[in-house]
Structure 1
Amino acid sequence: MGMLHSDSLQRYSDELSEAIKIGLGEIRDFFDLENVVVLAYDEYHIAIPVTYKVSLPPLGTVGGIDIRSEEPVLIKISLRRYPDQIPLILSDRKDFPKKHLAHLYVSRTSEEAGKFCIVRNNPNEWFAGARMWDLLAVGEQWLFKAATGRLSGDGEEFDPIRLEGYHGYHVYKYDLLHEVVSNDQRFHPGHGMALLFSNILSDDEEKYGSLTYKTLSSVPFIQLANFMKVIDELHKSINGREVSLLLSILVWRQDDEVEEEYCTSLPKNYGELKIYFNVRGIDIDGVLAIYKNYGLQKRRGIPIIHAVKRPKKMVGYGGQYEFINFSVLAPEGKGQAMPEDAAVLNLSHIEPFSSNLAAKLSGETRSAKTLYVGAGSLGSKIIIHDARGGKMHIGVVDEDKFLQHNLARQALYHDKVGLNKADATIKQISDMFETDSTKGFRAYAMSVEDVSDNVFEDYEWLVDSSASLLVQNWLSRKVLPATLKVSRCEVADDGRLGLLYIEGEERNPRIDDLINMAYYSAIANDALKSWRRRDSQRVYSTIDIGLGCSSTTTVMPDDIISLHSSVFSRLLHQEQSNPSIGNKGLIYLSQVEMGGIPKLQSKSILVPPFESYFCAEGSGWEIRMAAGSSERLLNLCNQNGKIETGGVLVGMANYKTKTIHVFDIIEEPQGSTGTRTGFIRGVKGLPEYINEIKESTGGVVGYIGEWHTHPMDLEGLSCRDKATIRELVILNRKEPIPTCAIIVTNDKILPFVFL
């Protein structure tokens, strides 16, 4: 019998494709051959025998592994799928030291050639951007690393075996199984074995890769009866699919011996599985007898996980146990013997989704405790972004139900229809984390006004995505914990504009300051101006959602909302983990031009704290002026000496919160005159200027009051002031706006508000 696999192969004589001929030319050039020998590997593949020259270390291979200076290999090429399918590099030596080397695929049989694993990710994707020459060069590097002991990228870690042609997956948390084995949490005193509570996510054995188990917890003997009762009685559905519950078996050697060698081929039937375990001192017959005698077998397939102790910690994990996964297709029924030819399937391990895995995949840690007010189309998407990033402290407040028409733009799916939105959202994100504690996920199925005050103390951020004026007013009035940062976001102008607001330190600027400042900023910002103009003429669409039932809404596609939600999620995470706005507030604009090829842009406006005053008459009204307004008024008083000066206030009022916002001060309109004892404000050009502001802001910002100075320091309204105010009250009631007058002395700002 020859020592090479190629000794038993015949020459290939049929015609080859042009792509393969080009590949053969590259093989010829790489190895400096006169002729390329083409062998028939099987019906679908050819094999090219070549020999690598390996640079061995002067003192021999590391660990004494039998890598030679000349290594014969086979380049296995698919006749039908090359170049879309990567060729395999196989050792041509029958005595190649497979069991001592990492980055080799497990062979189907012990006689099969060793297949080099040269790429960690999808090899066909890698080869799509590479040439045959590149593949051969990597194969050369593989053999050099094998000779020098550097196949594992980190010498302090152990590479797991490489599976190929596995039949599905067993999903479990590595740390869960590692804890069971390392702490010897055995189910039976005579065997190194444990039972694991599992379910079957898929068992269509006719389809490759479809057999999938999922393990959730270990089962101590004292709880076995309870778990069996659950398995026998519980018929529950996850994501609309029936779930089959069962117990998996975890086994390990009782002598705790370390295994350094790789398994060159895995068992394919029960006879081979017995030999595999017996050489390791594991009585698998005895283990399965216990399993069957307790009546634990509920399905034909019995999942078995073998814990192999390695000399070093596993690559990417915190323990030194490698877990190898099988499913034994055993006959059902108590007392039936296991036939030697019962099929054994090999399964690949997959980590369940967890907060740690989410952090690894996203490359970031989302740890801020966040309370969301509103789980509608925008809020639900931002919440899901947070959850998928691994955030485990999320609260959701919403009193509405999730209805059929909400499917058009919600992050939730049809199985949640009819549920409260807060409950449904929390259920959806909790289902993502079966192996993590989800007690940090909380639903508050109520209006935010009804949420208990102590709830807000549990969070670091409050994000209002409700688009509700009621909530906006409530946030403006509500006294919240000093440790709670408040934000609000919305999508406006039919999706052209996304707005996110973040309050400053000590809630100044406040949410209403920022929202109203955004309106005023339309004077200088074209995107805001276009929004305010369109908004002032908007007619909301009434959508029929049932006979006699309709909903007033803005028609908008889901992808536009998703775009803005992604930007908001990114910005909120940035400010929660690494704040950049200091003590100021933030107005953030994400803009989309949707005509033709979409154009995306953004703008940030940092807003300093507002200056707050309460009405000097005790009416309860608050005047909040943009930063710098007080200094400007006081300077105007001082600059004019003993002559009174004055003008007009530009802003807006909210009767619900009893707040007047002042954004600008107009000084002495044309026609104004001042004396030591009074000021008469002119009107020339003023109506036109105010109308321009109104038109730019959609009619929400305009004239909001009067100001004038008392350089003689009269800290109150004069008789003339009172008479003027009586006239203004009558006029302003027609608008309607409150009558606001600010008296400025040399060192004081004194606001007065009358209705």
Structure 2
Amino acid sequence: MDAQAWFAERFTETISPDGLTKPRARQLAALITTGGYDGALLLECRREPDSGHEVLILKVLVPLGQRALVNTIEPDEPMAVLIGRDDLLPHAYPLRPDFPAHVPHFNVALPGQPRSLCLYETPADEVRRTYTAIGFVERIRWWLAETAYGRLHGDAQPLDPLFQQAGLTLILPPGDIEPGTLCVATRVSDRLNSPVRLVEVTQENVPRLQDEKGLHAVIFLRSQPVEHGRVRDIPFDMAHLVGVYQDIGADISDALKAALLAIYNSTHAKFLLDQPLILIIATPLMRAGGGVEAKTVRAFITQDVTSGDLAIKLGILLKEKGLWGRPLLMQPEVQDLAAVSLIPADIHEPFDRARAQLASGSPVNEAVPTALLGAGALGSQIAFFAGRGGYGFRIIVDNDYLLPHNLARHALGPEYVAWSKAVAVGRELNYLLGDGTAEAIHDDILYPSEGGRWPAALGEMRRVIDASASVPVARWLACDAVREAQAASCFLNPSGRDAVVLIEGSGRSPRLDHLEMSYYRHLVGDAGLAGHLSPGEVALYVGGCRNPSVKIPQTQVAALTGCVVEALCRRSWPDTGGIYVWRSGEGLTGITYHAFDGEPYEQAQVGEWTVWVRRGLLGEMAEARQRAGKLETGGILVGTWDRDRKIAYVVNHYDPPPDSIHEPTGFIRGTVGVYETIVDIHAKTADNLTYIGEWHTHPVGYGTQPSRDDERLLWWIHDALRWSDAPALILIVGDDGARLVLKDEADHYAEALVDGFAPA
């Protein structure tokens, strides 16, 4: 069934744009039908009766030039935009029957369902923070144009796989493996998509292993040491493999036969004869006339041949009526081993780099019940650095697993590969500080399991440290979490050269989201923080397309972690809150330190929006009003919106441009330098701060009631921000204080004075 037929069959109710009920559907329809946007045309709207999901059928206008196309993308592409649950992003589905199916970056779909475009490389929670209707349509147009010219998949990205991942990641166990050890590949955890590792087969675990699906028998061989020399071709069948080792004087035939016979002779592992075989061969390498200096390890997987089948071909076993036995011939005939196809594989060996001894400090006298959110590279090292100083974490929350590449910067050792990070870190802390010190909670911080310990356990804490490196987690902790615990957030910047710590004040004032806003403000205004949010150097891609791991040496992470632990675990938390940034030089030639006091914010409820205004900004505006005397003055406001929570943050204001007009009864803000200022703010804050409205003063003797000019200004701002999914906002300073005035997309008008503010 093609995409058009699939949507027609399910979305049977045709509706008008005015009849749409989904907020994002209404926003998208309004963008296209008002005539101010020419990137798409709205053809029709439909609804699925049972679910209430809505779909907009669009004609997307693709910005194609004269260059020859690599893929057949049309200038007008019919597209279905599906809007489901309110907490999910819309999905875009191409409707043209002959739309190219071989191009990369489609989302996976169930059999019989159409595939949607993979539009974003970042997680949905991150996209939702800045999602707008116009941004969504422009992303579709970008996807189509880049696909047309064959540029969507970058040269540095791994190729899209032919099939989806099977969910199996094979990892060698730690330590040296003795030949003859009988192993299978199995999961440590019973959670879906968890990694697998090789485990030894014992009498006790056989009943459990036999019930598992997808097992492979594993045979380890260690050949005789050989001199290093010419690199040989990789063998693709068993005869070639045996021949290669014979050529270099390290015949593996006898060792292979002995290993297979060990399976047959075992009292508990005969079931491995019916499993596919993974053959792992370790070959010690030595220089001419010298000793062993290294080893090479290769893995080979048999295709459509079990370990028992291979034993039969080698002439050491036979099978009659389902029973295994030994042949009677003294010199059994070896069958053609070239028929045993092999898939050569590079394997992940245990990470063997020795960890540096962590320096211990003076013990912390007060055992403050503390939660640690995130047990990744930074979170795990915070836990161990602090633990060795006597600081205990009561709960550790994370839902990720440890993989080999994590070991370059993670505090856990190779014995914990494939473990839950939270469980493993908690286990190590309990070994260090005593059983029961730390409780591990393997759960998603934002989407916890029903009936689990999280997030109720947060109510038992007096402090919480967020090391998740996730803005959505920090916002949840600031705005939504039920807690009395004082919170802090810590993270590394994109390049990994800087560390940041935000600590709430006593009584949660200022709270984490206010500190986040002030942190962005300092990035704009402090020259010592230039380039702080510039991206780092990509080392490799892991976990899927467009998911880079940044190249950061462990020495750098360790040095910055020491600074973070010093602030969080060895010093008293300031009553006023604080923002701390450590910047490391190239090759750790020096670390510079920047500290800023926390800034209080004033709250105002303006219609359905909660507006937080930095208190210092209000004082600065009052001083500007006093300097202006009998004239009005003003400028632009900078901040951001949290659209999901209906929160606006007013973070900073800018003085009037030089071409502004100041009058006793009016103010016209000029334009000179405004665009450059906004571009600079976007660059320095990675788009976290932006233009959100205007401010101006009324002269002495006048209050803050909006004038007719102010109403016209509100309409102008509303028009400028109409596709930003945010209200128009102005802030007026007068005799009676500071007044916020908002106008949203539905023409709802609201105003409120900011409490706790008196003009200078």
TM-score range, shorter chain: 0.3 to 0.5
TM-score by length of 2: 0.46
TM-score by length of 1: 0.46
